[in-house]
Amino acid sequence: TVTDHTRPLDDEVDRFVLAVRALPAGAWAHFHCEAGLGRTTTFVVLYDMLRNANRVSLEDIVRRQKILSHGYDVLQPDEPGNWKAPYAAERAAFVRAFYEYARANPNGRPQLWSEWLKSAGQ
C-alpha cells in the first residue's frame, strides 16, 4: 500500500519488482489507485522502465505515460509552497533513480531495488 502523493517505500518497490518478475510472458498488468493518476501513473512508469529502460529514454517513458494518463507527469514539481511539493520532489528523485536501476536490471533481474540501492551506495 502506497500513501497518496508519496513515493513507494523500498520494501513496496521490492514487492512490485517480484510481482513483475512472476508475470508469465505476454501477461497483462493492471494498475489503479483511488483517483487513477498519481500512484497509478507512478507504477505504470516503473513497469514500463523494467520492461524498456535499456532501449527507451527516461523522458520518452514519462512522456508516453503522461499522454496515457491525460497529462499527469510523475517528474513535474508542484508549485513552491504547495503542501505536496516535497512529496513530488521526492517522487521525481525516486523515479529517476529507479530508471537507473531498471537499466542495470532489465525486468527486475538480477537485483531487487533494495539490493541495488545497497550495492550502488545509495
72 flagged as catalytic: no
Residue owning grid cell 533481474? 109
Catalytic residue, chosen from 33, 56, 92, 117, is: 33
Mean pLDDT of the chain, nearest integer: 89
DSSP 120: T
pLDDT at residue 6 above 80?
Answer: yes
pLDDT in tens, 58-85: 999 999 988 887 788 988 888 889 998 9
Amino acid identity of residue 68, one-letter, is L
How many angstroms separate the CA atoms of 10 and 115, rounded?
10
What is the average per-residue pLDDT within 105-112? 93
> How much of the chain, in percent, has pLDDT values that exceed 70?
93
How many angstroms separate the CA atoms of 37 and 35, rounded?
6
How many angstroms separate the CA atoms of 5 and 85, rounded?
9
Domain boundaries, the chain: 10-21+30-119
What CATH architecture applies to the domain 10-21+30-119? Alpha-Beta Complex (3.90)
